[in-house]
Chains A and B, each alone.
Chain A
C-alpha cells in the first residue's frame, strides 16, 4: 500500500537524523514562493540538493532560496547525479506524469503539485508506478492541512448539526498569479479555472462528503479555456451541492453546508476559524481554532504581489513535514494519491459533459456564436 504502510526495506534505510535529500523539479513561482520556503523551514530534516528547470534564469532565481543545491536543465540528469530520496514535482501540469514516472523509476518518493495529472488514466499510471517501486506518492493538496477544513469534516461526519442536506460553494478571485508563462491558459495543459482551482476544492468536498457524483456541468469556454464554471453534485444520503468557480470576478468565497439542524461556513483560504449556527437562530458563531504555529507569519515576500496568505505558507510546511514523516515511517500521508486521483476523475467528468453556461446578459446572436465555438472544443 503506497500511502499508509511503507515497507520495511526503505523505512529504515533513512537513519532518523539523516536529512531527506530533495530535488525540486520545476522552478516556477510555486517552487520559489511556496515549496522552497517551506522546505527551508524544515532544514533540520530536509536538504534541497537539486533544482531542475529548462530556464537558467528560473534556476538562478530559485537557487537563491536553496544555495547549496546543484542545478540541472533536465530531471534525468539530476536523478542520475543525485539519487534523491524525494522529488517535488512542481513543473507545469502537462509534465507531471512524465516527471513523476521518472522520479519513481529512479527510486525517489514523490510529492506532485496539483493537479496530479490531466487525466484519470495518467493518475492510474502514476499510482501503479509508485506501487511497483514501493515508493510514496503524495499530491500537493495542502488545503486539507487547514485546521478549519479538518474541523468541518468532523462536524459533518459526527452529525452534531444533523446530516448534511446541501452545500453551496462560491469561489472566485480575479486571476492574479504573476506567472511567467501562458501554461495556466492553454487548453490541454491544465488551463482553465476547473483544473486550476478545482483540484483543491474537489479534494475538500470529497473529504467532507461521501460518494459525490457529477450531475451537471457548464462553463464559459468559447474556443479557449474557461474563466468561469458551475456544476452540481450529488452524494451519499441525498446531499446535493452547487459549485461556482471564477477567475475573472470576486465571489463571496464561502462554502456553505446546510445540515438538518444547522449550518457551517468555511471561508475560502481561512485556516484558523469557521462559522456555524443553528437553523432559525439569529446568531452566527465564529469558532477560532488554535494550534500553535498556524497564526504566525512564516516568511515575508519581497514582492507585495506575492504575499501568499499565512495560512497557505503554513500549510505548505505542514504538507512537507507530513511527507518527511511518512518517508521516515512515522506517519501516513494525509492526502493519498488515490484520493487525489478521485478528484481528477470528477474534474475529468466535468469537462467530458461540458456545455456552455447560461449567460443571460448576452445577446441571442452572441450566444449562438458562443455555442458554435464551444462545440468546436475537443473533449
Chain B
C-alpha cells in the first residue's frame, strides 16, 4: 500500500511516517509545504513531495499513485476550514480511496458532558477559535464525503503526548525546570491522554480496516489518566520534585483567562503584557506600585498564595488552563470494537516519553550548575 502523509513534518505526522516506514507497513509519501519542513523526514530516504495544503492541483499531483491520504495538519482557522476540501477533492481526482482526517476531541469542548460518545455531534458555537474551526471542519467533511464518494475516517484524539510533543511533553519538562509547572485541583482532573504511538496505530487501522469507512472515533489511552499522572514521570525524568508543581483551584481559573473581547479585554491584555511589565519596571517606585495594583485588578491573587512565585500564571495560555478542567474520560470502546484498537498501557507511554525527555538533555543540573 502507498500512503500520502500531509503534515509530514509535524509531531504526529513525522511519527506516523517513522512507524510506517520502519515497520515496513507501507510505502510512505511525505508531503510538506516547504523545503524547510524536511528535517525530520530527511532522516529517511523517502520520496517526499511539496504541496500547499490549500492547493488542490499540487495535492492531486502529490497524491498520484497513493491509496490512502492522511491529513494531519495544524494552522489558523482558514487553513483548518479549507484544507479538508482541498485534500478530499484532490484525493478523488488522484484516485485515493480513503482519507484519514486527524480532528480533535475538543470539537466537543474542553469538558464534554457525561455520556458523550463517538457519535455525539461536534459543537460548532464554542467561543474558542481552534475548537470551533475543527468542529466546523468535521461538518464540512460530512458534506465532502457525499460530494466526492471518498471514504473519510475522522479520529478525535485529545492530549497527544510522547517524544517531540511540544505542548504535552516538552512544555511539561520546561515548566518543571523553570518552576512554572501547575495543575488544577491538585492534578486530580481527567487528562484524556493518548500516547503518540497509540494514535498513529489508530491512524493506520483507520486507513486499513474496511468497517471504519465514514466513521469517527475517539482515540485515547485505555486508563483513566489524571494531570498528576501526566506530570509525575516527566518530573522524575528531569529531576524536579512534584512538590514544586503549583496547584490552583478550578474556581481561580476563570480569573486567569483572557477576557474574550471588547474594550475591557483590550485594556486587560495591554496591562498584562510583557511589554507593559518591562515599561513599568522603568517607572519610579510609586508609579510601579500603582501599575502592580492595576495588574492585580485583572488577576486577583488567591488566598494563601505567594504572589511572586505564581506571577507566571497570568501568562499561561488559556488552553493550558482549560484542558485541566475535565471530568469525563472519553470512551474508546468504538475504536476497540471496529478498528481493533489496542493501545499500549499509559505507564509504557509515560516511560518512553520520559526516556525521550532524558535523552534530550532536559535535566535539572544543566539549569542549576555548580
Binding site for B on A (CB under 8 A): 168, 170, 172, 174-182, 184-186, 191-193, 220-227, 244, 246-252, 254, 256, 258, 262-263, 265, 277-281, 358-363, 365-366, 369-370, 373
Contacts and interface: CB of A to CB of B under 8 A. Distances in A.
Contacts of A360: 352, 355-356, 359
Contact of B35 (A182, A223, A365, A370): A182
B347 interface: no
A256 B44 contact: no
A221 B361 contact: no
A180 B19 CA distance: 28
Interface string B6-40: 00000000100011001110000000001111111
Contacts of B366: 168, 170, 252, 254, 256
A280 B37 CA distance: 43
Interface in B33-79: 34-46
Nearest to B352: A361
Given A224-B45, A224-B46, A227-B43, A361 B162 contact: yes
B24 A258 contact: no
Nearest to B354: A361
Contact of B22 (A227, A250, A369): A369
B43 A222 contact: yes
B362 interface: yes
A275 to B, nearest CB: 9
Given A244-B360, A366-B23, A223 B39 contact: no
A176, A182, A280, most chain B CB atoms within 10 A:
A182
Contacts of A227: 39-40, 42-43
Given A258-B369, A358-B359, A182 B170 contact: no
Contact of B369 (A225, A277, A366): A277
A373 B46 CA distance: 12
Given A178-B34, A366-B19, A369-B24, A222 B44 contact: yes
Given A227-B39, A373-B45, 9 more contacts: A170-B361, A170-B366, A175-B38, A178-B36, A182-B38, A222-B44, A225-B43, A251-B362, A361-B163
A174 B39 contact: yes
Contact of B164 (A224, A248, A252): A248
A186 B170 CA distance: 28
Given A172-B360, A246-B360, A361-B162, A263 B42 contact: no
Given A227-B39, A281-B370, A361 B353 contact: yes
A369 B41 CA distance: 16
A168 B366 CA distance: 8
Contacts of B162: 361
B42 A191 contact: yes
Nearest to B50: A182
A280 to B, nearest CB: 6
B39 A179 contact: no
Given A249-B170, A279-B370, A225 B359 contact: no
Given A174-B39, A175-B39, A251-B361, A224 B163 contact: no
Interface of B is mostly: helix
Task: Determine the interface band of chain B, counting residues with CB < 8 A from chain A.
Answer: 35 or more
A356 to B, nearest CB: 11
B370 A177 contact: no
A185 B40 CA distance: 10
Given A256-B369, A359-B359, A370 B34 contact: no
Contacts of A256: 366, 369
Contact of A220 (B38, B43, B362): B43
Contacts of A191: 42
A265 B170 contact: no
Contacts of B170: 249-250
Given A180-B35, A263-B369, A365 B23 contact: yes
B43 A226 contact: yes
A155 to B, nearest CB: 14
A176 B34 CA distance: 10
B36, B356, B366, most chain A CB atoms within 10 A:
B36
A107 B188 CA distance: 73
Contacts of B355: 360-361
B22 A224 contact: no
Given A182-B35, A361-B162, A252 B42 contact: no
A224 B23 contact: no
B370 A224 contact: no
A68 to B, nearest CB: 31
Contacts of A365: 22-23
B355, B356, B370, most chain A CB atoms within 10 A:
B370
A222 B22 contact: yes
A217 to B, nearest CB: 15
A190 to B, nearest CB: 12
A377 to B, nearest CB: 9
A79 to B, nearest CB: 30
B40 A248 contact: yes
Contact of A224 (B42, B197, B353, B369): B42
A361 B43 contact: no
A279 B36 CA distance: 42
22 contacts: A170-B366, A175-B37, A177-B36, A181-B35, A185-B35, A186-B42, A192-B42, A222-B22, A222-B44, A223-B44, A248-B39, A248-B164, A249-B166, A250-B166, A251-B360, A256-B369, A258-B369, A361-B163, A361-B352, A361-B356, A365-B22, A373-B44
A185, A192, A361, most chain B CB atoms within 10 A:
A361
